[in-house]
Amino acid sequence: MSTPPAAGLRVFITGASSGLGAALAARYAAQGATLGLLARRAFTAPLPHPDRHRHYQADVRDHAAIAAAAQDFIAHAGGIDIVIANAGISHGTLTELPEDLPVFDAIFATNVTATVATFAPFIAAMRAQGAGTLVGIASVAGVRGMPGSGAYSASKAAVATYCESLRLEMREYGIKVVTIAPGYIDTPMTQQNAYPMPFLLAPERFAERAVRTIARGTRYTVIPWQMGVVAKLLRMLPDALYDLAFARAPRKARKNAP
């Protein structure tokens, strides 16, 4: 089946109240898309054609709430073209501190299990259409285990591997699975980082590139491309060298409440 035209796309985005999700929403809305936007906070930024879009104030860890939002959006929009499981959280964690165990749970529930719960209720409609694109948001931080970020790095590695499994499962239905691994994008998530962030990109520039990647159905992409080169080098680095170079890498701030 052919890819639908950019105008008129039906796009469901989680984590749309901030950062990458809000920038993606603005980009698709400017193209004339019909949007389903989900987050715990209300989405306040003005969008073109506001009457066309549906807002769902929900926690992605509430799987029944996502399923209800999905059902409502499919009925409202008359189908679904793109689902972007973008909602995510990032906190430093240390395994040796018992108070960080609930943070590990929260990060996995929000970044990994909620990605599954976001895609699942749309698959039947996409199968019936014989087309659709599911988009997972991984991270360059998932390419190798970063010190002090065991939960976040592992969660994003899990997103990338899960999306790869899903891509093969969806192939026979004509459904594409796109994995995007952002490098550093200037959002509230990274604004708290007290260390240099190479190739930092504005969310609007990220969204431009992500929308093109999604339209092409690219299997796996790092945005910006410069961080893709860094990711490839990181992957190739022998463990002993990686340990030497990264044991003292700057660490993300811890948070000990989910």
Residues designated catalytic: 152
Least distance to ligand NAP from the beta carbon of 2, Å?
30
C-beta pairs of 161-168 under 8 Å, 24+ apart in sequence: 162/112, 162/115, 162/116, 162/136, 163/115, 163/134, 163/136, 163/138, 164/220, 166/119, 166/134, 166/136, 167/219
Which tokens sit at 154? 């592992």
Q: Which residues bind ligand NAP (CB under 6 A)?
A: 14-21, 39-41, 59-61, 86-90, 110, 137, 139, 182, 184-185, 187-190
Instruction: Name which of 182 and 228 has its Cβ closer to ligand NAP.
Output: 182
The least distance separating ligand NAP from the CB of residue 221, rounded to whole angstroms, comes to: 12
Q: Considering the complex, state which of residue 132 and residue 136 has its C-beta at the smaller distance from ligand NAP.
A: 136
User: In terms of CB distance, is 12 or 131 closer to ligand NAP?
Assistant: 12
User: In angstroms, rounded to a whole number, what is the distance separating the alpha carbons of residues 218 and 213?
Assistant: 6
Q: How far is the CB of 47 from ligand NAP (least distance, A)?
A: 15
CA torsion, ordered 142, 214, 15, 76, to nearest 10 deg: -150
Question: Within a 10 A sphere around the Cβ of 147, how many other Cβ atoms?
Answer: 16
> How far is residue 153's CA from residue 161's CA, in Å, rounded to a whole number?
12
Nearest residue (CB) to ligand NAP, 45 versus 75: 45
Q: Work out how close the CB of 144 gets to ligand NAP at its nearest, in angstroms, rounded to a whole number.
A: 14
Q: Which of 115, 119, 180, 133 is closest to 33 using CA atoms?
A: 133
